Structure 1
Amino acid sequence: MEATHSAVKNHGYNDLTMQHIADEFDRSKSLLYYHYTGREQLLADFLGYILDSFLADLPTEETTPRKELQELIDRLLPAKTTEEPYRLALAMFELRMNAPHNQAVRQQYVAVEEELKRLLEDMLQRGIEVGEFVDMDIAVEAEGLLSLLIGTRARRLTVYDPDESIEPMKTAINSHIDRLSAISS
C-alpha cells in the first residue's frame, strides 16, 4: 500500500500503471498481479488503507467535540496545500469519479462516507450532551456536514489552484457550525 501511495503521488490517477506501483515496490510486478487482477482492484484496497490511516490520525476524545469537529474539518480541508498532498487528493477524486463504473471502488467510497458520517454523528451527539451544540436531528446535520465537506473537497480540486486558499469556503462551513453551537466560539 505504501508503494501504491508513493506511485499515486508521483503519477496521479490517469497515468498510474501497475508498473509504476511495482517500481515503488521492492518486489516484482507479477507479485502485484498475483494479489490483484489490475489497477482498479488494487486502488479499491488502497482507498481502505487511506481511510484506516486517516482515522488512526484523528484526535481522540481528549478534547471537546467542537474542537474534534474543527480538527476533522482542518484535516479534510487544509486552507492551503502543497503539491504532493494535492496530487494525492486529486488522484482519489479521479478514482471517485469512476465509482459508478467500478463496484469495488464504489463500495470503498460508501464505507468512507459511512465512517465519516458516523464520526460526525458521534461528535454532534457528544456535543449536545456536554452543551456545546443545540439539540438537533443528528443524522440530518451529519449528512449535511458530510455533503459540505465532500463538496468543498471537490470544489478545491476542480476550481482552486493547489496553493490557493479555500478560507472563504471554510468560513462558510464554520458559520454553519456556529449555528449549531449552543455557545458561540
Structure 2
Amino acid sequence: MNDEPTSEILDATYHALCKHGYAALTLQHIADESAMSKASIHYYYDSKNELFVALLDFLYDRYTTQIDSTARDSPREHLRSLLEVLLTDEEDTPGTEFRTAMLEVTAQAPYDDKIRDRLVEFGDYLFERIRQIIAAGIDAGEFAESVAPSRIAEAFTTLIVGANTRQVAVEYSTDRLSETITSHIETDLLIRTPVEGAQ
C-alpha cells in the first residue's frame, strides 16, 4: 500500500491489536501507536470493521513477502526454510506478533464475510506455495513420485495454521511440530539414496 497515512494507520493498528486484542481495541490505542489523531484515523476508516478488512490486506502483503523470502535453489531446502520461518518458536519475534494479530482477526471471521474471504486467501497462498515446492521436488528427483503434492500441501497448511493458533492461544511450542514435519519429510517424502554396497 503506497498511501503513507493509511500505511501508518495500519501499522499502528497491527501493533495495537497485538497489545490489546480485538474486543478492547480503541481508536485511542491505535493513535497511541502512531503520530496520528483519532480524528485522522476516523477520516480514513469509517468503522472498526472497515479498518480490519484493510488490515488484512496489509498483513497479506507482509505474509506473502515472508513466504516468498524462503525461496531456495533446492526444493528440499526451500521447504525446510519455509517451515522454519512459519514455525519459529522464539519470543519477541515478528512471527509471534503476526500470529497474535491473525488469531485476533480470525476470531471475527464467522461474523464477517469480507474478513473470512481474506483469510481464505492466506490459506490458499500457503497451500499453493507448498504444493509448488513439493511438485518441483518431484520433478527435481528429490521427492518420491508417489507423493501427492496437493495432499501434502493440504496437510502441512492445516498443521501450520493450527500450530500457530495453539502457540498464541495456549503457548503450545511449535518446535515440536517442526521436528515432526521435518522427520516426515526425511522418512516419507525424500527419495532414499541406496547405501553403497547394499544388496
TM tier, smaller: 0.7 to 0.9
Q: Distance in 2 between matches of 1:75 and 1:23?
A: 30
TM-superposition CA deviations, 1:73-108 (whole Å, max 9, x none): 111111332277535422321221221111121111
Could you tell me which amino acid in structure 2 is paired with residue 142 of structure 1?
Answer: A
Task: After the TM superposition, list the runs of 4 or more consecutive aligned residues in structure 1 that deviate by more than 4 angstroms.
Answer: none
Q: What TM-score does the superposition give when structure 1 sets the normalisation length?
A: 0.84
Give the counterpart of 1:36 among 45, 48, 61. Answer: 45
Letter in 1 for 2:60: L
Q: CA RMSD in A?
A: 2.3
Q: What is the alpha-carbon distance in structure 1 between the residues aligned to residue 89 and residue 32 of structure 2?
A: 33
Please list, as runs of the form range in 1=range in 2, the aligned pairs for 1:165-176 lying within 5 A after superposition.
165-176=173-184
Structure 1 pair 142–84 and aligned structure 2 pair: CA distance change class (3 A) = closer
1:130 aligns with 2:140: yes
Larger Cα Rg: Structure 1 or Structure 2?
Answer: 2
Contact 1:134/1:180 (8 A) holds in 2:
yes
Task: Give the one of 100, 104, 110 matched to 1:90.
Answer: 100
- Which residue number corresponds to residue 26 of structure 1? 35
Structure 2 contact 164–174 (Cα < 8 Å) conserved: no
User: Aligned to 1:55, which of 64, 83, 93?
Assistant: 64
CA distance in 1, matches of 2:101, 2:83: 20
Judge conservation of contact 1:117–1:143 (CA < 8 Å) in 2.
yes
Shift of 1:110: 0.5
1:109-140 Cα distance to aligned partner (Å, 9 max, x none): 01111111111111111111111111222212
Which of 119, 125, 150 is equivalent to 2:161? 150
Structure 2 vs 1, CA of residues 84 and 128 (structure 1 numbering), >3 Å: closer, same or farther? Answer: closer
The TM-score normalised by the length of structure 2 is 0.79
Q: Report the count of equivalent residues.
A: 181
Is the deviation greater in 56-65 or in 123-132?
Answer: 56-65
Match of 1:160 in 2: 171
In structure 1, runs of 5+ residues without a counterpart are: none
Q: What runs of 5+ residues in structure 2 fail to find an aligned partner? A: 1-9, 194-199
Counterpart residue number, 1:6: 15
